[in-house]
Every structure is written in C-alpha cells, then in structure tokens.
C-alpha cells in the first residue's frame, strides 16, 4: 500500500508538471480614429445684427457689413487667406504686406483677426464669393509670390493654390466643411511631406 501510494503521488506530480498554464494573451487594441494633422476654424466678425445667416455649409455677409475673419489653427502654422469676389477679382487678406517678410505664423489655438489692419466693408455687387484658406507649417512660395503684386484675378489665385497643392500635398485629404451659422471648420488628416490644409469655401454675399 505504501508503494502504491508513493507511485500515485509520483504519477500525479509528473502529470502536474506536464500541464502548463498557457501564456497570457496580449490585450486586443482597437485602433483609434486618426488624429487630424491640422485643423482650422474661421468665423465672420462684424455682420449686421438682427438677421440669421442663410448659408448652411459656408459663410454669409451682406452689402454694407464691416467685417473681419477670426481664424484659429492647430498646431501653429502659416495661414494664408485669399478672397475672390463675385466679379472675379482677387485679394490677399492675410498677409496683406508683400512676400516672405510678412509674418503669418499663427499660434496654436489663439484666435487671430484678418485682415490684421482692421475691418473691411462689404461692397457690391452681391453674389457668390470664395475664400481660399491655406495653412502650412512651412511657407508656401506659390502664395507668397501673389502677395504684393497688387491687382489679382481669381485665376491667378486658383493657379497658385493648385501648384502648391500638387507640390506639397499630392495625396492630402480633408474633411468636408462643417458649417455652424457663420463659422466653418476644416480638418486635414494627411501630413505629407508636412501638414498642409487647403480649403475653398463659398461665401454668400447678400444684397
């Protein structure tokens, strides 16, 4: 009996040694949503009180409004703001001074008004106008070359923006404009070769 008990004890000990606890499995990680490489918000400051903007996906102004555009960017970036009126003429609203000497680096999450010189009055004719936003952590020479030339056309601006997009961000993608009354938000997700955001927004100019 003693031998039998000893034999069973050895057998149980041997079997216990053969049974190994499986190694712990790594936790399942769900990939989070991609973080935007750059975000930009623009709102209109100075529209006449007492009326509600009609635009759902853009900005609205009326003839006679004295306005500025409030810009907020994240992370810090060089921000260009170009305007094409309903007549087809173009204007650089940020920067307004010439070339690469103009300081257009906006601090992250700090609202900045453009034009920096003060409010501009919305003049006729009414119609569909465009605002082109370019935000980049490096200067964009194609846009710098426009500033200081004086009179611009919409085709001048479109050509420069297309060249900048092709050279700097051939595969960039951006979320659709999100409108909140007289405010628009943008997010760019691709950072190739560095973060850049390019947006073309309709501004509804009402009589």
Q: For each successive 10 residues of the chain (207 residues), what is the average pLDDT? A: 46 48 60 69 72 54 88 92 92 75 84 88 90 88 81 91 75 57 75 74 85
- Going by C-alpha positions, the residue among 128, 80, 84, 137 that lies closest to residue 108 is 137
CA angle in degrees (0–180, nearest 5) for 107-113-131: 100
In the prediction, which pLDDT does 58 show? Answer: 62
In the prediction, which pLDDT does 196 show? Answer: 79
* Chain CA centroid to CA 19, Å: 57
In the prediction, which pLDDT does 199 show? Answer: 85
Q: Which two tokens stand for residue 137?
A: 């952590």
- Position of tokens 């850049």? 196
In the prediction, which pLDDT does 82 show? Answer: 93
In the prediction, which pLDDT does 53 show? Answer: 44
In the prediction, which pLDDT does 45 show? Answer: 83
DSSP 8-state code for residue 108: B
Cα separation of 70 and 53, whole Å? 16
Backbone φ and ψ of 78, nearest 5°: -80, 125
In the prediction, which pLDDT does 147 show? Answer: 79
Q: Which two tokens stand for residue 51?
A: 């009326």
Percent of the chain that is helix, strand, coil (3-state, to 5): 20, 35, 45
Do 183 and 43 form a contact (C-beta atoms < 8 A)?
yes
């Amino acid at each position: 009996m003693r031998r039998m008990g000893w034999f069973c004890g050895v057998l149980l000990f041997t079997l216990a040694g053969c049974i190994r606890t499986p190694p712990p499995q790594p936790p399942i990680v769900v990939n989070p949503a991609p973080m935007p490489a750059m975000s930009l918000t623009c709102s209109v400051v100075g529209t006449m009180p007492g009326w509600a903007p009609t635009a759902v996906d853009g900005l609205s102004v009326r003839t006679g409004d004295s306005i500025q555009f409030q810009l907020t960017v994240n992370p810090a970036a060089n921000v260009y703001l170009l305007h094409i009126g309903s007549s087809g003429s173009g204007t650089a609203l940020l920067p307004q001074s010439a070339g690469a000497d103009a300081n257009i680096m906006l601090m992250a999450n700090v609202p900045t008004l453009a034009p920096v010189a003060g409010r501009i009055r919305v003049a006729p004719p009414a119609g569909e106008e465009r605002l082109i936003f370019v935000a980049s952590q490096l200067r964009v020479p194609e846009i710098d070359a426009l500033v200081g030339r004086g009179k611009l056309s919409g085709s001048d601006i479109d050509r420069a923006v297309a060249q900048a997009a092709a050279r700097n961000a051939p595969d960039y993608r951006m979320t659709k404009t999100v409108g909140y009354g007289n405010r628009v938000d943008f997010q760019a997700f691709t950072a190739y070769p560095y973060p850049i955001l390019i947006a073309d927004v309709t501004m509804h100019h009402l009589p």
